[in-house]
Amino acid sequence: MLYINCPHCGMRSQNEFSYGGDASVKRPELNKEISDNEWDDFVYNRKSLRGKHLELWQHISGCRQWIKVERDTSTHEIFRTFKANEEIA
Amino acid sequence: MQKYSIFNLVKNAFSNHQNWDLAWKDPTPKEEYDVVIIGGGGHGLATAYYLAKEHNITKVAIIEKGWIGGGNVGRNTTIIRSNYMHDENGLFSEFGMELWRKMSQDLNYNVMFSPRGIINLAHSDAQMNAYARRGNSMRLNGIDALLLNREQVKEIIPMADFSDNVRFPIFGGLMQPSAGTARHDAVAWGYARQADSMGVDIIQNCEVIGFDVSAGKINGIRTSRGNIKAKKVGLCVAGSTNILAEKLNMTLPIETHLLQACVSEPIKPVLDNVVTFGAGHFYVSQSDKGEMVMGGDLDGYNSYAQRGNLPTLQHVLTEGIAMMPFLSKLKMLRTWGGIMDMSMDGSPIIDKTHIEGLYLNCGWCYGGFKATPASGWTFAHTIAQDRVHELNAGYSLNRFSTGHLIDEKGLGTKTWIS
């Protein structure tokens, strides 16, 4: 069982969350020319890192907020959690 | 190579089976090969076998970080089927079914292929319609498919829950009678033994740490046991694809996820077929030892851990018990996890890359085991001829940017949702 520290609600079990994928993916800026390759990278291509991975989760059975979680994909250890709009150094 | 036969079995009995040849050698890596296959799993071993057998290319090495057959070919639920709707998947998998049927003879190794049939259960009228459509598509591609009504399903699997007040009543099902199971380890060992006998070097405990690429062309690989020159390199590393792709500065439409399976204690024969639950993701068959072999959803987050978490297992088995209530009475014998190369449309990639001499085989999602022979055969063709075969032409790497996706389930790019 993973335990995720929701920045809004505190420590909860993974059963309350649903996964949202790689949080480092950025949608292309819509007000400039976007190439097919840029869309390709945004929609399909993923680094799928082994080790520290910043990802989105939604506290779907709790506050329903989207959050960011820094988690190790080889040990499942969770290091830090952030609000969705928080800038991460 | 010593042939496995009743004659040799009797002969070796006189020396207490102490004098059998080794099934494959343990060579030190040579300086150079025509083709290096990275990954000594089912697909890698099959590729090497078909390179030697179909294309007469025997200066081949298989480079394996651990031991051969220790990854997903050693930890799957052994289901073999070709019940796909899309032409690309159907024709590819049905070609594989042909190879499965003669595999034991081809490899002189009993892979215990058992065409016991697979039944996908339907739990609504809409699902019956969808199955009718899929069944018709299958038949158009020459694949056997039977649409069963509730009574016909009940005759085959009376132990399923046919009571009236269930959340997901069984309306019927789609059956592929020629689908089945096989002994997964034997597939890896059979391919390894034959490939070795034709001159392929199987190099275990050898980790790839880098690639030697210059002017857009591959020249070789760097490994924990030294540099190896190669004219061509094929990647067959399933869940580790992204790790190697990073060393090549490639970002792929693949994510690595965790999938669990489990077996119950062995019981007397009760289930003749492979059965899948249609209102979720759960499948079950009974092994020759009597264990109920079960699996279902991914754990649902990126992972390289090869070990699972209980919530998913509980969720999957809840579906199993809804389908066949007697399963709740069984003790769990063993659970395990493996890491899947989940592609963004649920279909695999067997293709050339932008680097000359580098070939890619990945994206097998839930269905890598059954594809082993067809994947090896088409990948060997792609490498040997430097062009894709018509069977794997649809499994191109650039289909994502051109929009020619093969999304059998219509799930989109959230690979962890099923």
pLDDT digits (tens, 9 = 90+) for B31-66: 999 999 999 999 999 999 999 999 999 999 999 999
Asked if the structure places residue A33 within a domain, the reply is no
Q: Among A19, A43, A49, whose Cβ lies nearest the Cβ of B416?
A: A19
Asked if the structure places residue A35 within a domain, the reply is no
Number of domains in chain A: 1
Looking at residue B272, what is its pLDDT?
97
Sequence letter at residue B325: P
Asked if the structure places residue A77 within a domain, the reply is yes
User: B368-398, pLDDT tens digit by residue?
Assistant: 999 999 999 999 999 999 999 999 999 999 9
Which residue of chain A comes nearest to B313, CA vs CA?
A1
Phi, psi at B198, each rounded to 5°: -95, 5
Asked if the structure places residue A57 within a domain, the reply is yes
Q: Which tokens sit at B343?
A: 């592609």
Looking at residue B417, what is its pLDDT?
83
B255 contacts A41? CB cut-off 8 A = no
CB contacts, 8 Å: B413 with chain A: 43-44
Beta bridge partners of B258: B339
A73 contacts B413? CB cut-off 8 A = no
User: B189-214, pLDDT tens digit by residue?
Assistant: 999 999 999 999 999 999 999 999 99
Asked if the structure places residue A69 within a domain, the reply is yes
How many angstroms separate the CA of residue B254 from the nearest CA in chain A?
A: 6
Does A15 contact B at CB distance below 8 Å?
Answer: yes
Asked if the structure places residue A15 within a domain, the reply is yes
- pLDDT above 90: residue B413: no
- Give B241's pLDDT tier (boundaries 50, 70, 90): very high
Which residue of chain A comes nearest to B309, CA vs CA?
A1
B251 contacts A21? CB cut-off 8 A = no
Looking at residue A62, what is its pLDDT?
97
Which residue of chain B comes nearest to A56, CA vs CA?
B301
CB contacts, 8 Å: A71 with chain B: 301
Q: How many CB pairs under 8 A join A and B?
A: 73
Q: Does the interface predicted TM-score (ipTM) exceed 0.90?
A: yes
CATH no. for residue A83?
A: 3.30.2270.10
Asked if the structure places residue A31 within a domain, the reply is no
CB contacts, 8 Å: B340 with chain A: none
A48 contacts B254? CB cut-off 8 A = yes
User: B111-144, pLDDT tens digit by residue?
Assistant: 999 999 999 999 999 999 999 999 999 999 999 9
Does A36 contact B at CB distance below 8 Å?
Answer: yes
Looking at residue A14, what is its pLDDT?
95
Mean pLDDT of chain B: 97
User: B63-80, pLDDT tens digit by residue?
Assistant: 999 999 999 999 999 999
How many angstroms separate the CA of residue B223 from the nearest CA in chain A?
A: 19
**pLDDT more than 70, % of chain B:** 100
Phi, psi at B309, each rounded to 5°: -125, 150
CB contacts, 8 Å: B253 with chain A: 44-46
Does A11 contact B at CB distance below 8 Å?
Answer: no
Q: Among B246, B256, B414, whose Cβ lies nearest the Cβ of A21?
A: B414
Which residue of chain B comes nearest to A47, CA vs CA?
B251
Residue range of the domain that includes A13: 1-22+43-89
| Choice between B418 and B202, residue whose per-residue pLDDT is larger | B202
B243 contacts A50? CB cut-off 8 A = yes
Q: Which residues of chain A have pLDDT under 50?
A: none
Q: Among A37, A39, A48, whose Cβ lies nearest the Cβ of B256?
A: A48
Q: Among B251, B255, B301, whose Cβ lies nearest the Cβ of A41?
A: B251
Which residue of chain A comes nearest to B247, CA vs CA?
A47
- pLDDT above 80: residue B418: no
Looking at residue B71, what is its pLDDT?
96
Asked if the structure places residue A47 within a domain, the reply is yes
A21 contacts B309? CB cut-off 8 A = no
CB contacts, 8 Å: A67 with chain B: none
